[in-house]
Each structure stands twice: as C-alpha cells, then as structure tokens.
Chains A and B, each alone.
Chain A
Amino acid sequence: MSNSLNYTKKRIGFPRMNLLTTIGCSLFTILIILSFGASIFAPYDPLEQNILSRLEPASSVHWLGTDVFGRDTLSRILHGAQLSLIIGLTSTGIALILGTVLGIIAGYRGGWVDIIIMRIMDILLAFPTLITGLLIVAVLGASAVNIVFAIAITLMPNFARVARAPTITLREREFVEACRALGYSDIRIMAFHIFPNVIGEVVVLASLWTASAIMIEAYLSFIGLGVSPPTPTLGGMIRQGLDNILDAPWVTVYPGFAVLFIVLALNLMGDGVRDATDPKLRG
C-alpha cells in the first residue's frame, strides 16, 4: 500500500517549472480570469447590434473593431472564449473519467473484456477525430451538451489507451497480489490501488488533450455545428468574418488568434508538466 503511494508521488512529483511552462501557466491563468469574468471585463454586450458602426477597425471605442452587425469583437471574443474553455474542460474531464475507467477495467480484467473494450476504442479511432465529432454532433443536434458529449467520445479512446498500458503491469505487482490475497473485490482493487497509480500518467496528458478539445470545438463551430447563434463562439465568429475578409479581415483574424492563445497556453503547460514528470524527456 505505502509502496503504491510512493510510486505515485515519484511519478507525479512537483513539476519542475521552466520558463516556457511558467509563461504557459500565466497565460492560461490570465485567459481563465478574462474569459470567466467576461461579463465584468467585456466593454459591451456581445449581442448588442449597432448598424451605424458596422465593420469598424480597431479604435479606442472598439478595441478590436466591430463585426458585420456592429457588435464589439473584443466582447464577443471574451464570451466566446468562456464557452470554448467550458466546453473544452468539461469534455476533457468526461473523456478522462470514462477513458481511465474503461482502460483500467480492460487492462485489469484482460481476456474478452479487454478485447471488447479496446475494439470499441479502435472503431472510434478509425475515423479522423474531427469527423467523429462532426457526425455525432450532426446526429444529436448542435447544442452545448451534445458538443461536450461528442468531443468526450472522440477523446476517450486516447485516455483508455494511456490508462490500460500501466494497468497491465500493475496487475502483476506484489501489492495487487497482496490485495487479492486479502480478498479485496476487483472493484476495490481497481478504485483504490490501481487508479491512484495510473491517474498521474493520465492527468499529465490531460492539458494537451484539453488543447485538442478546444481546437475541435472551434472547428465544429466553424463548420456550423457549434452552439447556435447568436451565442458567440470563436469558430462561428471566424466563419462569419470570412465573408468580409477583403474589407474587414480583423473580424475573422482576432478570434482566430484567441483560439491560438488558448491552445498555445495549454500546450506550453502540458509540455512542461510532461517533461518534468518523464525523466526520459528531461532536458
């Protein structure tokens, strides 16, 4: 038991922060504060239209200009980013829980349970990620809940694979054998003895997969399968701005950079944490 806990601590450790990781964490914190405080920080109502100020370039009145309906781009980006982050974080969270549970069950039980679970994961991985998400959202209808579900399903197999691999070796370890000898139930062993040893590796990858989740959400809303308008979504804004790319490129470019910053912050963070916990990649 104490052996297993030590193992966990060693694996997760406290991330050795380098400059890039620090930048990533700070950027992400700022983005979280700005987007979740969108109703405080946004200078305008993101839905307020003003026909007199259509497609205005950046100015002191509208810091990032206005779109085709005269709506303030900055306010819409902040609200859109909030939605992106909520969808990205919840869908990754759900994918992490489902994937880890399935991966541990597959790895621990082995045999036909393993074959069936991993076959289903293979089927899900047989489509390009975006296409799986696209089909699920198209089938269920574009709403925030369905988008979260679709992204969670597409990301789940990755977590299952990461959780399954260490489970297979842990299954043979002495402390697990000891648990079995003590007559613990499989569920108890998986929940209290395997899970704490696996979760570290899974969580390390979570921020990288959150980045993918946010990217997929932006792609879906760009294609027109996002949360329906007038709710601002970053992908939707980019798509709409594309129509006026000749005379007002900022309408499409700024929300694009917002997606870039969010994804970059998550990638920097994820990279740093992974490097710090994986001795092979250190340096």
Chain B
Amino acid sequence: MLNFIFKRILSSIPTLFGVLTLVFLLVRVVPGDPALAILGDAASEEALQAFRERMGLNAPLWDQYLSFLGQIISGSLGYSMTTGEPVLTTVLRVLPHTIELTLFAIFIGVIFGVPLGIWAALKRDTWVDYVCRIVSLIGLSFPSFLTAILLILVLAIYFPIFPVISNPGNSASSHLYNLILPGLSLGLIMTAYVMRTARSSILNVLSEDYVRTAKSKGIPRSVILIRHVLKNAMIPIVTVVGLYMGLLIGNSVLTEIVFNRPGLGKLIVLSLSQRDYATLQGLMIIYAFLVVLINLITDLAYGLFDPRVTYS
C-alpha cells in the first residue's frame, strides 16, 4: 500500500512539473505591468524600478524560472506581491474554508444521492424512477450560483433562518451554521450526480449472475442488497465522487462569491484583479496538487470496496 502511494506520487511528478512550467509561462504573459498595477499610477519611476528589482521581475526568464522552482521546493510557493506574505501562508488561511465546503457538499451528495439512487433502481420504470431521473437531470443542469441564490432567497431572506453572508466564526457551531446554506447549494447538485450514477451502477449489478444466484439460494433481499449489490456498485460511485470533487473545488468560487465567503475562489479572483501573479501561480499549484491528491485518494478508496483491487 505504502509502496503504491509512493509509486503514484512518483508517477504524478512529470504531470506536476508540466503544471508548474505551464503556470509559470502563462502567468508571465499576463498583460499589464504588475509593478504599475500594485503600486498605482502615482508611483514614481524609482519606486516601480525598486519593486521590479525586489520581485525579481527584471531578471531573465530562465533565472525567474529557477528561483520559482526553488521557492516551490522550499515550500513557500513564493511571496505575495501585495502583502509580501508567503503565498502558502495566505492559501492555508483560506484553504480550510474551501475544503470544509467541498466535504460538506460531498457528504450531502452521498447521504441523499445513494439512497435515492438505490430506490430509483429498485423501482425501475415506475413513477418513482421517472421522478428521480427527471429531478436528477434538472439538478445537474443547475448552475451552482442559481442554487445558491434560490437558497438565499428562500432560507435567508423570506424565512430568515440562515445568514445571507457566510462568515464562519471561531466556534464550531457558528462554523456549521454558516456552512449549511453554501454547503447545501453545492450539495444538492452533487446529490443529482451521485443519484444518477448510483441508479445506473446498481441496475448494472442487479443484472449480474451472482445476484440471481444469491436470490435463488434464498438469501434475504436486504442482505443481497447490502452485501452483494451495494458493495459492487460503489466503485462507479466513488469514481464520480472523486471526479466531481475536483469540479467542486473549482466551482466553489461561485458559491464563495454569492455568499461572500472566504476561500480559494475568493483569493484567486482577488489576485487576478490585483495582478498579483506570485499568489496566482501559487494558487494554481495548490489546485493542481489538490486534484492529484483527490485522484490518489479515489484510487485508494477502490480497495475499500473491492478486495480484488491490490496496490502493488
């Protein structure tokens, strides 16, 4: 297992290296002078020059590339051009909010999506199935800002149960209270995805020979469902959850804007408008790292449900 993890990390190094190079090059072609954007029009030529010198913007491109790689290896991910703080520190301050939001959405998606998917599959071609399928199709066509806006309108304005602006406090209860609406807005869409996948993968398993055999042996329905069907149907569900977790981390940007909630998305939009490309490239690396990490965890999760999967 450890060997597998090590190999996987090793094999993702070329991809991550490619990501680094791509980000470095892309960010260098951002139009506009970052010195001018950050110091403002009123700054003197000397001040601008000093800023460029300090940020290493005058150095040749390959030199900038080497120091960029150095900053990544040292773990600081460079220094913000606006605050001078290590990018990693800035990112780590907001990252928990995004992770919390994503995990909550996944949680909602799984606890509602899996049972609904099972129900629809068992009641195949009845009205239950049709309603579930239509609702899930509508759900996954919902742009995530629309669910956010509708939830705000209903549960924060017409019935002021939850706050309009999600500003997680220090206490655990305030965290949860501020997490529910944004989490639901992403979680409902996630439910639609999970429900669809659960339905089709359970239908697939139900037609397998071993399910028929189990039935003919007289094993109770509930045991067949849990031991045989659900366990085998979990693999596609895990795949979809992993796939959409990456998507959610990206899309949380919209939820964060609507709810005015801190997070990676808010940070990337801010650093774009400030032309803070040190923060921008640090963030891109964090995003790529998270996606690689999620893929790894997804692969490991397969083993939990399918003993045939070995990590060697």
Contacts and interface: CB of A to CB of B under 8 A. Distances in A.
A122 interface: yes
Interface in A97-128: 119-120, 122-123, 125-128
Interface stretch (A60-68, A134-142, A167-175): A134-142
A195 interface: no
Contacts of A224: 269
B144 to A, nearest CB: 8
B57 interface: no
B284 A127 contact: yes
B141 A252 contact: no
A138 B138 CA distance: 31
Contacts of A271: 137
Contacts, number: 121
Contact of B157 (A139, A239, A245, A283): A245
A120 B17 CA distance: 11
A74 interface: no
A252 B149 contact: yes
A129 B18 contact: no
A264 interface: yes
Nearest to A141: B31
A253 B153 CA distance: 10
A120 B18 contact: yes
A135 B284 contact: yes
B269 A223 contact: yes
A131 B153 contact: no
Interface in B228-255: 246-247, 249-251, 253-254
B250 A131 contact: yes
A238 B145 CA distance: 9
A246 B143 CA distance: 21
A251 to B, nearest CB: 11
B18 A242 contact: no
A30 B10 CA distance: 51
B146 A259 contact: yes
Interface in B113-145: 125, 133-134, 137-138, 140-143, 145
Nearest to B152: A245
A102 to B, nearest CB: 16
Given A119-B14, A119-B15, A260 B143 contact: yes
Contacts of A259: 143, 146
Interface residues of A, number: 45
B26 interface: yes
Interface stretch (B34-42, B208-216, B286-294, B304-312): B286-294
A128 B251 contact: yes
B18 A264 contact: no
B30 interface: yes
A128 B146 contact: no
Contact of A245 (B125, B153, B272): B153
A268 B258 CA distance: 28
Interface stretch (A42-50, A87-95, A211-219): A211-219
B200 A281 contact: yes
A267 B157 contact: no
A267 B141 contact: yes
A273 B29 CA distance: 41
A263 interface: yes
A36 interface: no
B287 A131 contact: yes
A128 B245 CA distance: 9
Given A139-B26, A252-B149, A130 B143 contact: no
- Which are the 4 A-B pairs with shortest beta-carbon distances? A128-B250, A256-B146, A264-B141, A130-B250
Given A215-B143, A238-B149, 10 more contacts: A127-B287, A127-B288, A130-B247, A130-B251, A138-B272, A211-B141, A222-B257, A253-B153, A256-B149, A257-B146
18 contacts: A20-B133, A123-B18, A128-B249, A128-B291, A135-B23, A139-B29, A139-B30, A219-B145, A223-B253, A223-B257, A238-B145, A249-B149, A256-B146, A260-B141, A263-B143, A267-B140, A267-B141, A268-B137
